[in-house]
């Protein structure tokens, strides 16, 4: 999944491109990360909880931004941030990385995406000046990521092969593309 830092970079870039579209910046930024903090990801992402081993089908079913848009007021900046989060997840899984996911098993995808996220976060923090402190839920984001790091290393250890499925230039283009989606 795109990291919370990726979601924040997209939200901040959206704000820079469209400074008059969002009135309550804090609510927008919080909305852009909170779907990943809820325990029921299927509900928070308006998707279908699935344990399918067909990773492409699983990704297609795990998020439904249009369902969210039809059931939430889009005049609320928090909801706009949440919607942008879901739209980003949908585009990330089903378009940006669809061919990558079609050619890899779930275990390798988990390893590859973990390592990719580490690289992406460092790049996005430097380029967009984002961080967990941009939200009112910074400690919760830190805690969930520490738990994820621990779980990842418990499951896979530290010595494994991985592939980064896209370049930083492709990531920058994705951020740019997603920052234009709400207009």
Distance CA 172, CA 164 (A): 15
When pLDDT is cut at 50, 70 and 90, the band that residue 92 belongs to is: very high
State the average pLDDT over residues 9-19: 96
When pLDDT is cut at 50, 70 and 90, the band that residue 106 belongs to is: confident
Distance CA 18, CA 42 (A): 30
Task: Quote the tokens at residue 152.
Answer: 């990842």
Considering the chain, what is the average pLDDT of its residues? 92
Distance CA 68, CA 76 (A): 13
Q: 108-120 pLDDT, tens per residue?
A: 999 999 999 999 9
Task: Quote the tokens at residue 44.
Answer: 């928070």
Looking at residue 35, the DSSP 8-state letter turns out to be G
State the average pLDDT over residues 124-136: 97
Task: Quote the tokens at residue 92.
Answer: 């990330």
Task: Quote the tokens at residue 49.
Answer: 């909880």
Percent of the chain exceeding pLDDT 70 equals 93
DSSP SS3 for 104: coil
């Amino acid at each position: 999944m795109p990291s919370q830092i990726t979601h924040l970079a997209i939200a901040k870039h959206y704000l820079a491109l469209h400074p008059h579209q969002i009135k309550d910046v804090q609510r927008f930024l919080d909305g852009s990360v909170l779907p990943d903090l809820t325990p029921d990801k299927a509900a928070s992402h308006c998707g279908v909880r699935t344990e399918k081993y067909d990773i492409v089908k699983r990704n297609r079913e795990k998020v439904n931004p249009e369902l969210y848009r039809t059931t939430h007021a889009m005049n609320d900046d928090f909801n706009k941030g949440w919607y942008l989060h879901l739209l980003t997840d949908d585009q990330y899984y089903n378009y940006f990385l669809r061919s990558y996911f079609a050619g890899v098993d779930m275990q390798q995808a988990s390893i590859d995406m973990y390592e990719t996220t580490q690289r992406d976060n460092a790049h996005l923090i430097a380029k967009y000046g984002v961080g967990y402190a941009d939200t009112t839920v910074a400690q919760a984001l830190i805690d969930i990521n520490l738990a994820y790091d621990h779980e990842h290393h418990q499951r896979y250890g530290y010595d494994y092969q991985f592939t980064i499925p896209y370049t930083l230039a492709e990531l920058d283009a994705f951020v740019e593309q997603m920052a234009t989606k709400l207009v």
